């Protein structure tokens, strides 16, 4: 289960492309690393008038952007491309020993959630009251696996991690009257 998944960056049609209406143009701003390793920006404009219209200017901007994305100095500056993983050491930030999965109290209420996060700003919460503590935990783990593209872990391993967390947090469960079943 320790297989690391390295995903390519998600390149959507408008990545690094922006539109100005006055003057009428598309412009592209591409990050890159200079020879010293500092992050810089490379900018190029594509005017509607010069390219024969809005669609043609967009196509030219997109072609230039796609060409730039193949350069090594641009790939290096495109953000965190570390391999995604599920398992880690148990810490205060990762109480289950699973990356991106942790219990969180919601606001001033006495509701608790199991929250799961992943790269690219993905975040989802599962209510302990609605799904039960185990149900919220299991849904969070399966959601993280789906997001990072790995197989769901062995259910026995999940239960061991979950039960270890339950033992460490029995007073919290009692305080907020959460049922561990």
Query: Two tokens at 155?
Result: 């259910």
CB 27 within 8 A of CB 44: yes
Eight-class DSSP state of 97: S
Domain limits, the chain:
17-77, 101-175
Per-residue pLDDT of the chain in tens (181 residues, 90 and over written 9): 455 555 556 666 778 899 998 899 999 999 888 888 888 899 999 999 999 999 999 999 999 999 998 898 888 777 655 556 677 777 776 777 777 888 887 766 667 788 888 766 678 889 888 888 889 889 998 988 888 777 888 889 888 888 888 888 777 666 656 655 5
What pLDDT score was predicted for residue 1?
Answer: 44
Strands (E) across the chain are located at 17-21, 24-33, 39-47, 101-106, 111-118, 122-127
C-alpha to C-alpha distance for 148 and 5, rounded to whole angstroms: 7
Tokens 């570390």 found at = 82
């Amino acid at each position: 289960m320790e297989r690391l998944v390295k995903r390519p960056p998600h390149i959507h049609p408008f990545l690094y492309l922006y539109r100005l209406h006055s003057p009428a143009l598309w412009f592209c701003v591409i990050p890159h690393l200079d020879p010293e390793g500092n992050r810089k920006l490379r900018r190029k404009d594509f005017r509607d008038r010069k390219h024969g219209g809005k669609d043609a200017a967009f196509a030219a901007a997109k072609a230039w952007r796609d060409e730039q994305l193949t350069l090594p100095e641009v790939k290096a500056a495109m953000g965190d491309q570390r391999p995604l993983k599920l398992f880690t050491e148990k810490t205060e930030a990762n109480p289950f020993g699973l990356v991106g999965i942790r219990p969180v109290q919601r606001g001033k209420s006495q509701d608790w959630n199991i929250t799961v996060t992943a790269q690219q700003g993905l975040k989802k919460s599962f209510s302990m009251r609605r799904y039960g503590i185990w149900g919220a935990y299991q849904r969070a783990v399966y959601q993280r696996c789906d997001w990072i593209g790995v197989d769901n872990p062995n259910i026995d391993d999940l239960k061991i991690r979950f039960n270890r967390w339950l033992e460490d947090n029995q007073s919290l469960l009692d305080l907020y009257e959460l049922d561990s079943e």
